[in-house]
Amino acid sequence: MAETINVLVSEEEVDQKIRELGAQISKEYAGKQVHLICILKGGVFFMCELAKRITVPVTMDFMKVSSYGDATESSGVIRIAKDLDETLEGKDVIVVEDIIDSGRTLSYLLDVLAKRNPASMKLCTLLDKPDRRVKEVKVDYVGFAIPDEFVVGYGLDYAQKYRNLPYIGVVKGID
């Protein structure tokens, strides 16, 4: 059976929420520069749109951290596949993630990054699945809290498919 996608959060709702997050970050970091760290691959769609809506100076870097592979649930094994290109020393950092569910990956990653001595570090996610949390992480900026459904679109994928959808959709018909 082929999978189907049901819209959970529309393109317009995603766009509006990113505008709100950009305004909030701009206000909180007024007079400062913010360094965004995108968690690849899924976070790139969200970070690019968020960065366009932040009015203070922005720099950015990218990391690839994996705990999924092609599965729909975290394996629990966390691997840094691409590390940062720049130092975090003294920077006001916002880690930008597409989705947080179990919290394992972000908990590990935030511990690693904190040892690199940023001036401050916050976490921003487009989607939060609090019902899936097994490891607590403080999420400073949340786009949408969503139910425990497997979602795609706006950077999120199922076996590398559906990242390019302009909305967030629930996948049906996968094993």
Q: What positions carry a catalytic annotation?
A: 101
Give every CB contact of residue 64 below 8 A, 6+ residues apart in sequence.
Answer: 39, 40, 41, 80, 81, 82
Structure tokens at 15: 């766009």
On whether the CB atoms of residues 61 and 82 are closer than 8 A, the answer is no
DSSP string, 77-118: --EEEE--SS--TT-EEEEEEEEESSSHHHHHHHHHHHTT--
Instruction: Confirm if 34 and 88 have CB atoms less than 8 A apart.
Output: no
Alpha-carbon span 138 to 140, nearest angstrom: 6
Dihedral, CA of residue 36, residue 37, residue 41 and residue 44, to nearest 10: 0
DSSP state of 153: B
